[in-house]
A and B are shown apart, each in its own frame.
Chain A
Amino acid sequence: MDDRDLYLALLETARRLQPLALATVVRVKGSTPRRVGSKMLIDGEGRAVGTIGGGCGEAEVLEAAQEVMRSGTPRVVRVDLTEDALSWSPAICGGVMDVFVEPVHASDAGGEPRGPRGRSSRSGRSGRGSDRAAAG
């Protein structure tokens, strides 16, 4: 899954008016499982699309995501994976990463910026990616 796939999932989920949070790795130190820019989308029930750590350190981010959805305020979560190095977790991790967690407001995805929402704006958007997504 690349960013484009994740954004399509984000737009699709947000359209169904579900609370969401987006987590992005913004800084890494040492040997981390994923690179800067890796993303994970989290819904109100803790389900995730994409990965920022292949299992490593994701629990902390999932927790922060719930808090961010409640408060509406983005924040940076520092995930220290160095303590995990000798545990029997499914992936071998090390290093430290900073993850920016921000809320995705459900109403954002309803239509074009400043445009009316609903069916008319959905049909107006075809030809700009949503139909290409279906073809690709």
Chain B
Amino acid sequence: MSGTRAPVLSVAEAAREIVAALDRAERAAVVTIVSGPSSEPLGRRLLVTLGSAIGHLGIPELEERAQELARECLETGERELHPVTVGGDVWELYVESHVPRPDLIIVGAGHIAQPLCRIAAMIGFRVTVLDDRQEFARDERFPEAARVIVMNPDDPFRAVPVGADTYIVLVTRAHKYDYDCLRHLLNAGLRPAYVGMIGSRRRVRAVFEALLRDGIDPGQLETLRAPIGLDIGAETPQEIAVSIAGELIQHRRGGSGAMLAEREDLLGRVKRKQERGHHGRS
């Protein structure tokens, strides 16, 4: 791990260390010299993780600044080019953060969970599938999952830590189980990034009524996405998985979920502009 004496940290060595850090659920920051007065140091890089720094840039003043930038970047998660002046020369340092994949916990290993697990892995989630039924919670049914776990319905999240960057999708076989999981999350005071629950209008309403009757603070329910998913008219389990995946992306990246064509109305704008041009000439 300590490669500080190695002359240069290569791309492949850095790649390996970054993957290892991400798999330990740790952040990593890399600072690379991308331009400067001489070509020789280009591509030299410094890799900083929580507990270590490897590689070096070979120019002490640059190195000092790079260390600072890397530490900042570990906090902010940014990716940016920074010009640094050393003795009249301008160098450009590219600073890049690597943040572990967010966790997606799918509760209920049924017909929606299977396509959802596949899509979610594809769009950058580390997927965990939970079910209390051993015959459903099987690795071979979820080849793209990082973990498939047989859960104890009395304590569903015991084996899976729920953090501020965890996404939870409740798609169990019956609303009673969704309700139990939700109650467990709320009572444990867990604050995941996202919680969505599947269900018809009637059933979701019944869950809300029951939770409020139990004395759950309504403010706690406001962030719950139920019924889960974007409105794309999904019918099959695969289509519903796409609708849920769309909402996961929308939540993570901050989109509105609206149709771009409708929102931008570029045709309307072009038409109005042309009409104005017409009037201007006549």
CB atoms of A7 and B15 under 8 A apart: yes
Size bracket, chain B contacts: 20 to 34
A42 proximal to B (CB < 8 A): no
Q: With contacts defined as CB atoms under 8 Å apart, how many contacts are there between chain A and chain B in the complex?
A: 89
Instruction: Please classify the interface of chain B as helix (H, G, I), strand (E, B), loop, or mixed, using the class held by over half of its residues.
Output: mixed
Task: Report the bound CA distance from A56 to B92 in whole Å.
Answer: 25
| Residue tally, chain A, CB below 8 Å to B | 35
Q: Do B11 and A26 have beta carbons less than 8 Å apart? A: no
A73's nearest neighbour on chain B, judged by CB, is B39
| Binary B-proximity of A22-58 (CB < 8 A = 1, otherwise 0) | 1010110000000111000000000000000000000
Contact A8 B39, beta carbon cutoff 8 Å: no
Query: Within 8 Å of chain A (Cβ to Cβ): is B96?
Result: yes
The interface residues of chain B lying within 8 Å CB-to-CB of A26 are: 34, 81, 92, 94
Please measure, in the bound complex, the distance between the C-alpha atom of A109 and the C-alpha atom of B22, giving whole angstroms: 18
The interface residues of chain B lying within 8 Å CB-to-CB of A119 are none
Say how far A11's CB is from chain B's closest CB, in angstroms.
6
B23 cross-chain contacts in A, Cβ below 8 A:
128-129, 132
Contact of B42 with A by CB under 8 A: yes
For residue A113, CB closer than 8 A to chain B, the reply is yes
**In chain B between 130 and 182, which residues have their CB closer than 8 angstroms to a CB of chain A?**
144, 146
B186 within 8 A of A: no
Partner of A108, one of B12, B20, B39: B12
The answer to whether B146 and A135 touch across the interface, beta carbons within 8 angstroms, is yes
Within the complex, which residue of A7, A27, A35, A132 is in contact with B18, where a contact is CB–CB below 8 Å? A7
Residue on B with the closest CB to A25? Answer: B79
Give the Cβ gap from A70 to chain B, nearest Cβ, in Å.
Answer: 15
- The answer to whether A136 and B121 touch (CB under 8 A), given A2-B101, A73-B42, A108-B11, is yes
Query: A104: nearest residue on chain B (CB-CB)?
Result: B11
* Assembled-state Cα–Cα distance A136/B79 (Å): 26
Interface string of B8-30 (1 = CB under 8 A from A): 00111101101110110000000
6 contacts across the A-B interface (CB closer than 8 A): A4-B98, A74-B43, A100-B94, A103-B43, A129-B16, A136-B126
Interface residues of A (CB under 8 A from B): 2-4, 7-8, 10-11, 14, 22, 24, 26-27, 35-37, 73-76, 98, 100, 102-105, 108-109, 113-114, 128-129, 132-133, 135-136
